[in-house]
């Protein structure tokens, strides 16, 4: 589809659950999750020819692909045994590698322009965004939606905005401060610098 809403085209067909598409940086490919192999795997679609290529073949479910800045790798959530983690795969060699530092239940990886992969993690009741096992959001409840990149060092994400820690103070966000006495958490969009946060955590 064009930016103005014209030229809408269907890219996949069949009685399958195709979901979570991600465009490659050059716009020639779409990575997506699908159950067309019997369980959810990551597939690659050539937009120009319509050719499909199955990327993951593990018996566990794989979801939420995201392209590397160069477009030569994808990162995704994979279930291996009873563990759910973030994995990367080279599109050239098809070699799968676990993303170091990803712990707990993980969701929604997002590969940034400088090679940083931000993902959502739930560990011990905490719901936050993390990079390489280090949380970059504060005490607020971050939602498991893919973070968007404003540039190489800043992301936007969704959370309830309650209980900000010194690591991510309200002054660092692009939304107005809210009362912390709200009985029912609501969703708001925030922005935070990934690198500055990691620097403060590593120095503490």
**pLDDT for 191-203, tens place per residue?**
566 655 554 444 4
- Residue 178's pLDDT is 33
Best CA proximity match to 14, nearest among 40, 34, 43: 34
Please provide the distance, in angstroms rounded to a whole number, between the alpha carbons at the two ends of the chain: 47
Q: Which residue has the higher pLDDT, 142 or 196?
A: 142
**Averaged pLDDT, 142-153:** 87
Could you write out the DSSP letters of every residue in 115-177? S-EEEEEEETTEEEEEETTEE-S-SS-B-SSPPEESSSSEEEEEE---S--GGG-GGGSSS--
pTM: 0.78
Best CA proximity match to 144, nearest among 184, 108, 189: 108
**pLDDT for 100-115, tens place per residue?**
777 778 999 999 998 9
CATH number of 1-98: 2.120.10.30
- 49 DSSP 8-state letter: T
Which residues 6+ apart lie within 8 Å of 131 measured at CB? 101, 116, 117, 118, 119, 194, 198
Best CA proximity match to 120, nearest among 86, 150, 160: 86
What CA–CA distance (Å, rounded) separates 37 from 153? 37
In terms of residues, how long is the chain? 204
Question: Hey, where are the domains in the chain?
Answer: 1-98, 107-204
């Amino acid at each position: 589809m064009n930016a103005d809403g014209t030229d809408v085209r269907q890219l996949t067909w069949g009685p399958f659950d195709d979901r979570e598409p991600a465009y490659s940086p050059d716009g020639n490919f779409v990575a997506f999750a699908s159950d067309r192999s019997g369980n959810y795997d990551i597939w690659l679609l050539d937009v120009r020819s319509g050719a499909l290529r199955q990327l993951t073949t593990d018996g566990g479910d794989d979801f939420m692909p995201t392209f590397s800045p160069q477009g030569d790798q994808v990162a995704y959530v994979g279930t291996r045994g009873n563990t759910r983690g973030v994995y990367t795969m080279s599109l050239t060699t098809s070699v799968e590698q676990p993303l170091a530092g990803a712990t707990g239940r993980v969701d929604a990886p997002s590969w940034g322009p400088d090679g940083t992969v931000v993902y959502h993690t739930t560990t011990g009741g905490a719901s936050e965004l993390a990079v390489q096992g280090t949380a970059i959001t504060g005490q607020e409840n971050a939602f498991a939606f893919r973070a968007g990149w404003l540039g190489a060092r800043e992301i936007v994400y969704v959370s309830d905005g309650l209980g900000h820690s010194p690591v991510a103070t309200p002054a660092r966000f692009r939304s107005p401060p809210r009362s912390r006495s709200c009985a029912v958490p609501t969703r708001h969009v925030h922005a935070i610098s990934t690198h500055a946060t990691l620097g403060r955590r590593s120095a503490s």
